[in-house]
Structure formats: C-alpha cells, structure tokens
C-alpha cells in the first residue's frame, strides 16, 4: 500500500466515524502503549541504561540531519524496494529483534511474525523470544526472517541455535555484540525485576535439545534455596508456567527452576573476541551481520573477518548510557566501509523521515524497534500491521516530497547537517 492509499483509508474511515486506536504520531503511540503496560513491562521496554541519555542522543542525532527537498521531478511512480544479500525486499525496513514480548501481549513474537509476513517486512527473531523460532518460522511460510544470536558460554548451544535458525528458514544471522553483560537499567533495577528470572523470554532455550541436555549436568554452583515468600512462590509458579509441557509434571521435575538458573549462568560470554567469529563462519553459510557496531575501526575489523553486514546500533540506549547516537556514526562508518557490505541502522527511528535520512547517509536499510512493540501492546498483529503501514506510507511520502523516485536516488545531496 503506497502513501496515498494509506492516507485515503484513514480519512475515509474517519468520514464514517472510525478512528484507529493505534496512534499515528510516534510520541502518542509510546504514551498510549506505556499506559496499557504493567509497570514492569513499561520499565523493561521503554526504559534505557542509566539516565536514558543515549536514547535522547539517538533522537538528537536524527534531528541534526535535515532533509533538503527537490522539486519538479515527476515522482508519480516510485519504487521503494531494495536488494540485500541477493534477495529483493519491498521496503528498506526490517524489524529489530526485541525479546520478552509476552510482557505486552500473550501472542508475543507470533503476532509480530504474522504482521511482518503480511507486509513482507523481514522479522529478525530475537534470541530472547517468547515463542520458539520454529513456531514463528512456520507461521511466516515463505516470508523473510532472520535470526539474532546472543553468544552464550556454550559453543555447542550457539551451533544448535544457528542450525535451528537455518532449518526454520532464517536467511541471515545477526550477532548482537553489545550485550555481553546486561546494561545498568535503572528502571528495572528500581523495581528489582528481571523477566528472565521468572522464566519469561527464554523460549529459544527451553525448546533447544542442547540446552535441555545441559540441564542434567551437575551444577557446580547451586543457587541457595530462596526464602519462602509470596513473591518467591509467584516467581516459581511463573517459571513452571513458562516451561514447555505439562504444569504438574514440570512442577515435580524441577526443570523450570534449573532452566532459569542455567540460562542466567550461560546466556552471555563477556570474554568474546573477534577470534570467536571464525567459529561462527565455520558453522553456517548464511550471511553474518554484527549488531552493535559504532566505531569505524570495528567496522573495518568486521570486514577483515569476512562479515557480510553491520547493524549500527546502541541497543536503543539500553546498554551504555552516554553513548553516541547511531546517526552520528553512520556517515563515519559508511565512509570507511565504502559500500563493500550493507549497513543497517537502528536506535531512535521514529518516522519515515528518519528512514529517509539514514538511507541518504549510506544505510541500505533501517530497523524498527520499540514502535512496533507499542503497536503489539495496543492491538496485537493488527496493531503491528498498522504501525508498519504508517511508517511505510510516511517513508514513501517523504521520498516523493523530497523528489526521489527510488532508493538509489536518495543520497547525501538530499540531506544536510545543521
Ligand atoms: C531490545 N533489543 C534487542 N536486541 C537484540 O539484539 N536482542 C534482543 O533480544 C533485544 N531485546 C530488546 C528488548 C527490548 C524491550 C528493546 C526495547 C530492545 C534492541 C533492539 O533490537 C533495537 O536495537 C532497539 O530497540 C532500537 O532502539 P529503538 O529504536 O527501539 O529505540
């Protein structure tokens, strides 16, 4: 659906008294979704690291770049498609991996998968999904999806995730590098709430044969028995409920608690270095992208290590407070990479103009994060679909009004820094 069709639909529905419950404006969407979430979900999803300074900087970095529209260029027919790793996609937009979506909607990743499939937008499945990749993959049929990997302490588990991603039709592996330790997330710390401890967001693990086998290994550092409080009982109940299979069998087996403990013990590897990437290259033929790259020297190192693409990201300001905005680094990274591999960018994308600016500065595509989660919160699959339709229409319109007919016509000449 192009911009005109989307506008027509919204205005015609309005003429019959129908106004969508999904706000079009990015700020209103966030505000409304925030009100609809539990306080734990709001802290986890909307919150960032430290003072939230990186989130602000992400927006400022987008705002510093201004579009300079060109006139009289016949923009009646437009082509928003791009090519990535030899495949054609209808828009320069993908969905960033976002974990623990069950905090905002019971259908979680599945609702997003359906919306992405209906729109043709590639969905990057999160390593911390609430629904196993095989289930979402099957629902998406032949529509595009990628898999995002957190490199755990077990290479065997890494290999198992990658092999499952291939088997479930994922077309690329995105390794997130910025979360070898969890950031200092003020809002979550304030509530002393981490969803994983309650068994949320670990579905890729509890559905994994290697992980399940690891649960039978003797635990060298068993956790002390928690004090019996009402909250401890709630936590245990949540772990059991989220573990696959029968509730009473799970309650007897002790596996749900073991799974949470094992996950916490192994889910990241702070000792990870560039050398580890050789292992990944050896176990998959899929394109490998590194997510979380911000320094141009790291972009060059990625090229040296045969990496196929980068996602310039600061994790939506959830990891390092006081970090650079991603749009401040995109031109610098594009400058050293010189078009040898595709550059994707996320963190702070809040409208069609942001997509346009990123493409103008050398991005091949842009990834959308929190806004689709707000759509999910307010309206499940339909909510995500509406958010996507609004972003795509806004982008199509920005492109036309700036005087560009296709993605390749968008260039540095279309923007300036103020
Ligand atoms: C994330 N992000 C993320 N990234 C990743 O590689 N794996 C993950 O599981 C998650 N989980 C996650 C949960 C939540 C609640 C958020 C908000 C973000 C980061 C995500 O992929 C993306 O980089 C940011 O969301 C981009 O920032 P904005 O545009 O959402 O502010």
Show which of 266, 283, 299 is a domain's final residue: 266
- The Cα–Cα gap between 208 and 187 comes to 31
How far, in Å, is the centroid of ligand 1 from the Cα of 314? 9
- The Cα–Cα gap between 165 and 90 comes to 23
8 A C-beta contact, residue 404 and residue 71 = no
Show which of 226, 243, 266 is a domain's final residue: 266
- Concatenating the DSSP letter of every residue in 31-60 gives HHHHHHS-HHHHHHHH--BTTSHHHHHHHH
8 A C-beta contact, residue 366 and residue 122 = no
187 within ligand 1 shell (Cβ under 6 A):
no
Does residue 333 sit in the same domain as residue 404? yes
How far, in Å, is the centroid of ligand 1 from the Cα of 123? 13
Does residue 119 sit in the same domain as residue 199? no
346 within ligand 1 shell (Cβ under 6 A):
yes
- The Cα–Cα gap between 148 and 166 comes to 12
- Concatenating the DSSP letter of every residue in 257-287 gives HHHHHHHHHHS--TT--TTHHHHHHHH--S-
8 A C-beta contact, residue 178 and residue 315 = yes
Does residue 14 sit in the same domain as residue 124? yes
8 A C-beta contact, residue 112 and residue 100 = no
Between the two ends of the chain, the Cα-to-Cα distance in Å is: 33
Show which of 221, 246, 266 is a domain's final residue: 266
Q: In terms of DSSP H, where are the helices of 267-342?
A: 276-283, 296-304, 326-337
- The Cα–Cα gap between 405 and 75 comes to 5
CA 90 to chain centre: 19
- The Cα–Cα gap between 367 and 345 comes to 6
Does residue 157 sit in the same domain as residue 57? yes
Does residue 173 sit in the same domain as residue 45? yes
- The Cα–Cα gap between 318 and 314 comes to 7
- The Cα–Cα gap between 153 and 175 comes to 14
Does residue 103 sit in the same domain as residue 226? no
326 within ligand 1 shell (Cβ under 6 A):
no
Overall domain count for the chain: 2
Collapsing DSSP states into helix, strand and coil, what is residue 149? Answer: strand
- The Cα–Cα gap between 53 and 268 comes to 25
Structure tokens at 146: 């990628």
Task: Name beta bridge partners: 309.
Answer: 289
The number of the ligand 1 atom at minimal distance from the alpha carbon of 313 is 23
Does residue 323 sit in the same domain as residue 224? no
How far, in Å, is the centroid of ligand 1 from the Cα of 98? 5
Structural domain of 54: 3-186+269-417
Structure tokens at 376: 């999910």
Does residue 255 sit in the same domain as residue 140? no
Residue of 123, 369, 387 to mutate, ligand 1, most atoms within 8 A of C-beta: 369
Does residue 278 sit in the same domain as residue 150? yes
Structure tokens at 305: 């290590």
Helix axes 370-401, 108-119, angle to 10 degrees: 20
Tens-binned pLDDT, residue by residue, of the chain (418 aa): 789 999 999 999 999 999 999 999 999 999 999 999 999 999 999 999 999 999 999 999 999 999 999 999 999 999 999 999 999 999 999 999 999 999 999 999 999 999 999 999 999 999 999 999 999 999 999 999 999 999 999 999 999 999 999 999 999 999 999 999 999 999 999 999 999 999 999 999 999 999 999 999 999 999 888 899 999 999 999 999 999 999 999 999 999 999 999 999 999 999 999 999 999 999 999 999 999 999 999 999 999 999 999 999 999 999 999 999 999 999 999 999 999 999 999 999 999 999 999 999 999 999 999 999 999 999 999 999 999 999 999 999 999 999 999 999 999 999 999 9
119 within ligand 1 shell (Cβ under 6 A):
no
The number of the ligand 1 atom at minimal distance from the alpha carbon of 96 is 21
Does residue 221 sit in the same domain as residue 273? no
Q: CATH number for the domain including 293?
A: 3.20.20.70
**Token pair 């996320």 in the structure block, residue:** 346
Is 305 considered catalytic here? no
Q: Kindly report the pTM of this predicted structure.
A: 0.99
Does residue 223 sit in the same domain as residue 352? no
Q: In terms of DSSP H, where are the helices of 103-254?
A: 108-119, 133-140, 155-167, 186-191, 203-206, 209-214, 230-242, 247-253
Does residue 225 sit in the same domain as residue 322? no
What is residue 1's predicted lDDT score, i.e. its pLDDT?
A: 76
């Amino acid at each position: 659906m192009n911009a005109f069709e989307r506008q027509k639909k919204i205005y015609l529905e309005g003429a019959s008294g129908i106004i969508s419950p999904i706000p079009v404006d990015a700020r209103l969407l966030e505000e409304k979704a925030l009100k609809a979430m539990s306080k734990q979900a709001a802290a986890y999803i909307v919150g960032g690291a430290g003072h939230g300074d990186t989130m602000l900087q992400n927006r400022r970095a987008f705002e510093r770049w201004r579009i300079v529209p060109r006139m009289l260029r016949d923009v009646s027919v437009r082509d928003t498609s791009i090519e990535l790793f030899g495949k054609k996609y209808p828009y320069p937009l993908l969905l960033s991996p976002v974990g623990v979506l069950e905090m905002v909607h019971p259908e979680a990743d599945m609702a997003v998968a359906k919306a992405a499939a209906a729109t043709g937008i590639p969905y990057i499945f999160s390593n911390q999904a609430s629904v196993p990749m095989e289930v979402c993959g099957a629902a998406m049929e032949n529509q595009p999806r990628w898999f995002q990997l957190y490199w755990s302490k077990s290479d065997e588990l890494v290999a198992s995730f990658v092999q499952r991603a291939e088997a479930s039709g994922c077309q690329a592996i995105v390794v997130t590098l910025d979360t070898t330790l969890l950031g200092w997330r003020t809002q979550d710390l304030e509530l002393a709430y981490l969803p994983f401890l309650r068994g949320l967001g670990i579905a890729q693990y509890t559905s994994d044969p290697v992980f399940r086998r690891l649960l039978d290994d003797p635990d060298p550092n068993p956790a002390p028995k928690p004090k019996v409080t009402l909250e401890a009982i709630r936590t245990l109940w949540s772990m059991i409920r989220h573990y696959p299979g029968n509730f009473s069998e799970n309650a007897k087996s002790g596996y749900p608690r073991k799974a949470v403990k094992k996950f916490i013990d192994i889910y990241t590897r702070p000792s990870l270095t560039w050398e580890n990437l050789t292992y990944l290259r050896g176990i998959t033929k899929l394109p490998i992208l590194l997510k979380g790259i911000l320094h141009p020297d790291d972009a060059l190192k990625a090229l040296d290590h045969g990496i196929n693409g980068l996602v310039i990201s600061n994790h939506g300001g959830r990891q390092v407070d006081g970090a650079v905005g991603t749009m401040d680094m995109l031109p610098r990274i594009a400058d050293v990479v010189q078009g040898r591999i595709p550059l994707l960018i996320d963190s702070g994308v809040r409208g069609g103009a942001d997509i346009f600016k990123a493409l103008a500065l050398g991005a091949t595509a842009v990834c959308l994060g929190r806004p689709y989660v707000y759509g999910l919160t307010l309206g499940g699959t339909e909510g995500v679909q509406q958010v996507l339709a609004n972003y795509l229409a806004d982008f199509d319109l920005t492109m036309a009004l700036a005087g560009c007919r296709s993605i390749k016509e968008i260039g540095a000449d279309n923007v300036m820094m103020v």
